[in-house]
Amino acid sequence: MRIGVCYFPEHWPSERWETDIAQMAEAGIEYVRMAEFSWGVLEPERGAFEVEWLEQALSLIGDHGMEAILCTPTATPPKWLVDEHPDMLQAERDGTVRAFGSRRHYCFNSPTYKEETERIVTKLADHFADHPDVAGWQTDNEYGCHDTVRCYCDDCARGFRTWLAEKYDPIDELNEAWGNTFWSQQYDSFEAVDPPRHSATEHHPSRLLEYYRFSNDSVVSYNRLQADRLREANDSWFVTHNFMGRFDSLDAYSVSEDLDLVTWDSYPTGFAQDRLEEGTNPTPDQLRAGDPDQVGMDHDLYRSALDRPFWVMEQQPGDVNWPPHCPQPGEGAMRLWAHHATAHGADAVLYFRWRRCLEAQEQYHAGLRKQDGSPDRGYIDATAAGSEFETLLEGHEDATDAAGRPALEHVDAPVALLHEYDNLWALSEQPHAPDFEYWNLLNAFYGALRARGVQVDVVHPETELAEYAAVVAPALHLVTPAIAARLTDYVETGGHLLFGPRTGVKDEYNKLRPTLQPGPLTDLVGATVDQHESLPSHLETAVQDPETDTQYAFRTWAEWLEPTTATVRYTYAGDTVATDRPAVVEHAVEDGHVVYCGVWPEPELADDLITSLLERADIEHTARLPTAVRVGRRGPYAWVTNFSSESLEIDISDEQVVLGSSAVGPFDVAVVDEAVVDGLVVHVHGEAE
């Protein structure tokens, strides 16, 4: 409910700061983030610290009634440090060193870099410990950006061996757990195990999965080192980190355990291009505003990581520099994104950056102000969002944000969508079809929930599920007996559970079990998987209701199910080897209910499965929303966000509209009374209902 900005005073003459900061306050900005890449300015040579510039900027921010979020500058170790310790640089799989001249060039396992990190973080934290205008700290910047979670240097090799030796003992336990008789991959000691470096063909999937877990743990402990130092200096600061969108190699849940606030960086028109399914193109509207579900799923993931409101630490301010194409966002899109984030539970949205930079790599990236300092399109949008948030907040200050300012209450989602990075990592290494992409499979189910205006928590399978009326598990590929027991308990006590395909295929070591899929979930599902197949998109593939012959298309993946105690809901249609075999089954279990969907559903089938889940679990929902229109409910309000260039009509009376009107323009938003969400109808202007 508040807006902020990322500011780099070090890029501008100090005489300009007063003007910049006064203009920020004028725009309604309340939070300013600084210093994430400033090590070279803060310590131009070893031990010679220059922090006065940052103190001066901080004071100006405080004088104008705003607060600052400072960042540890560790994402960009300066040249003098790299020259002193070239061993701290990362290495690619083939040994190529990731050299100085860009950013994120350090290795998380370098003992030298960890010492240096401790030194600079302690120095800065102690220096600013009593500064009244610092609300909190961001550790580093976007851990893993530019594919840097996984490094293959000698320090990582040593770290990996120690990590394995702590997990398995003796080495034969590892050989057994992974299945190393295959292709003679046995090891006779932990010393013999290397990172999965460049190889002739694919690596052993168990070794890969362990390397990915190890690499993740390396970031977790590196982040903890920073968080501990910051808290030692001042434990009233919040500690946060800015995660990324649709990001694969870092487990946001595990890093978040050491944070007070989760934040992430949202660039909708960039993501719509470079995180889109291969071989597909963004729609014209997605090029202008992005895909609300792609961005929405990340909002929900980062909100769920600590089950607390999150912040958008970097919000796209206009056109950017890094996707394949850099179109201008639709008119009002920067305002729309701030509202959309708020509807998903954001307490603050900070735009990246204040002013277009005159120098270096990001000259083609917009800011809220143009390079001459005049307002850009984003500034106008951000200002509008800021004043609208102020109005919406009035009388509804039911909570406080991470910095202690009044805020709207937290989102209360009735549905949990299960997500786990182990599954992402395992499925990404063995997709078994070029178009089997983990996030897209999640989105097949998530999008159907969002198209019915339902708020969704994106949670780890070990989360307490009892509070959720329904749970959707699109890709629970690796399943331990403990997870199976939790899910069984959830259903037996009245829960409603929907599984997607490839569930329960493997154990935690990424190995098949000597029992049929879905392994430890077989009794809960009431069926086993007899066969599976992956299918190219040019085949027409559908399931059908055996009684009514109603057909629904599916794609990519098909499992032939063998019910034991479950009943058949859909069978394969058409005239193929799969015809009439069960594809979707359902199973009543004590007070609850389970559906197992053995295919990757296209939108109509997903909507059918999701609406029956919502009905059975008695969850309020809207009528099916037009593509690119989403409804998000939070506290007393519901936001109707329009990510399309068409105008909409909401079927409600004007008294039920809090902001905007029942006619919603292109890339516009209306805020309505949350009580109208159940059964709400939104249609594209001029189209029959």
352 is a site residue for ligand GAL (CB under 6 A): yes
Q: DSSP states of 398-438 as a string?
A: -EE-TTS-EEPPPP--SEEEE--HHHHHHHHH--SSTT--H
Dist CA 11 CA 34 (whole Å) = 11
Cβ closest to ligand GAL, residue 268 vs residue 386: 268
312 is a site residue for ligand GAL (CB under 6 A): no
Cβ closest to ligand GAL, residue 314 vs residue 401: 314
Q: Kind of pairing, strands 567-572 and 582-589?
A: antiparallel
Segment lying near ligand GAL (by CB under 6 A), choices 139-147, 148-156, 211-219, 574-582: 139-147
Cα separation values, 289 from 326, 368, 377, 389, 443, Å: 12, 17, 14, 20, 18
Q: Return the closest-CA partner of residue 183 out of 164, 160, 202.
A: 202
Minimum CB separation of residue 616 from ligand GAL in Å reads 41
Minimum CB separation of residue 66 from ligand GAL in Å reads 21
Dist CA 390 CA 174 (whole Å) = 57
Minimum CB separation of residue 521 from ligand GAL in Å reads 38
Cβ closest to ligand GAL, residue 302 vs residue 446: 302
Q: How many residues bind ligand GAL (CB under 6 A)?
A: 11
Whether 142 is a known active-site residue: answer yes
Cα separation values, 175 from 182, 187, 192, 194, Å: 10, 7, 12, 14
Examine residue 518 and say whether the peptide bond preceding it is cis (omega within 30 degrees of 0).
yes
Cβ closest to ligand GAL, residue 362 vs residue 429: 362
What are the two backbone dihedrals, phi and then psi, of residue 455, each rounded to the nearest 5 degrees? -80, 140
Minimum CB separation of residue 76 from ligand GAL in Å reads 10
Minimum CB separation of residue 318 from ligand GAL in Å reads 11
What's the one-letter identity of residue 39? W
Cβ closest to ligand GAL, residue 146 vs residue 158: 146
**SS3 of 341, please?**
helix
Q: Name the residue with the smallest CB distance to ligand GAL.
A: 142
Cβ closest to ligand GAL, residue 376 vs residue 674: 376
Q: Are 532 and 477 in contact (CB under 8 A)?
A: no
Minimum CB separation of residue 137 from ligand GAL in Å reads 16
Site for ligand GAL in 487-526 (CB under 6 A): none
Cβ closest to ligand GAL, residue 206 vs residue 240: 240
Cβ closest to ligand GAL, residue 38 vs residue 141: 141
What are the two backbone dihedrals, phi and then psi, of residue 631, each rounded to the nearest 5 degrees? -120, 130
Structure tokens that stand for 105 in this block: 């060039």
CA-angle at 408, arms to 403 and 409, nearest 5°:
105
What's the one-letter identity of residue 22? A
Cα separation values, 663 from 657, 666, 684, Å: 10, 10, 10
148 is a site residue for ligand GAL (CB under 6 A): no
Site for ligand GAL in 362-391 (CB under 6 A): 362, 365
Among 267, 446, 490, 639, binds ligand GAL (CB under 6 A): 267
Segment lying near ligand GAL (by CB under 6 A), choices 7-15, 141-149, 471-479, 617-625: 141-149
Q: Are 424 and 248 in contact (CB under 8 A)?
A: yes
Segment lying near ligand GAL (by CB under 6 A), choices 137-145, 428-436, 484-492, 676-684: 137-145
β-pair partners for 365: none
Minimum CB separation of residue 142 from ligand GAL in Å reads 5
Minimum CB separation of residue 365 from ligand GAL in Å reads 5
Distance from CA of residue 176 to its chain's centroid?
A: 34
**SS3 of 41, please?**
helix
Give kind and range of the element (H or E) at residue 261. Answer: strand 261-266
Q: Rg of the Cα trace of the chain?
A: 26
Q: Are 571 and 550 in contact (CB under 8 A)?
A: no
Structure tokens that stand for 265 in this block: 């960086």
145 is a site residue for ligand GAL (CB under 6 A): yes
CA-angle at 320, arms to 316 and 324, nearest 5°:
125
Site for ligand GAL in 452-491 (CB under 6 A): none
137 is a site residue for ligand GAL (CB under 6 A): no
Dist CA 558 CA 569 (whole Å) = 15
Taking CB under 6 A as the rule, which mask of x and - marks residues 34-63 in contact with ligand GAL? Answer: ------------------------------
Q: Which of 142, 210, 388, 437 is catalytic?
A: 142
Q: Are 633 and 455 in contact (CB under 8 A)?
A: yes
Q: Which of 36, 116, 210, 314 is catalytic?
A: 314
Among 142, 155, 559, 586, binds ligand GAL (CB under 6 A): 142
Q: Return the closest-CA partner of residue 241 out of 255, 228, 253, 231.
A: 255
The single residue listed with the structure tokens 């049929």 is 516
Minimum CB separation of residue 316 from ligand GAL in Å reads 7
Structure tokens that stand for 360 in this block: 């270096």
Segment lying near ligand GAL (by CB under 6 A), choices 140-148, 231-239, 582-590, 628-636: 140-148
Dist CA 41 CA 73 (whole Å) = 10
Cβ closest to ligand GAL, residue 268 vs residue 453: 268
Among 141, 443, 556, 644, binds ligand GAL (CB under 6 A): 141
**SS3 of 255, please?**
helix
Q: Are 120 and 74 in contact (CB under 8 A)?
A: yes
Cβ-proximal residues to 651 (8 Å cutoff; 6+ apart), any chain: 662, 680, 681, 682, 683, 689
163 is a site residue for ligand GAL (CB under 6 A): no
Cβ closest to ligand GAL, residue 142 vs residue 293: 142
Among 314, 607, 668, 674, binds ligand GAL (CB under 6 A): 314
Whether 314 is a known active-site residue: answer yes
Minimum CB separation of residue 73 from ligand GAL in Å reads 12
Minimum CB separation of residue 103 from ligand GAL in Å reads 8
Minimum CB separation of residue 56 from ligand GAL in Å reads 23
CA-angle at 522, arms to 517 and 527, nearest 5°:
85
Residues, the chain: 689
Dist CA 217 CA 423 (whole Å) = 16
First to last CA, the chain: 33
Cβ closest to ligand GAL, residue 244 vs residue 426: 244
265 is a site residue for ligand GAL (CB under 6 A): yes
Dist CA 495 CA 589 (whole Å) = 9
Among 320, 338, 426, 524, binds ligand GAL (CB under 6 A): 320
Taking CB under 6 A as the rule, which mask of x and - marks residues 593-632 in contact with ligand GAL? Answer: ----------------------------------------
Cβ closest to ligand GAL, residue 318 vs residue 500: 318
Minimum CB separation of residue 244 from ligand GAL in Å reads 6
Q: Which amino acids are annotated catalytic? A: 142, 314
What residues line the site for ligand GAL (CB under 6 A)? 141-142, 145, 265, 267, 314, 320, 322, 352, 362, 365
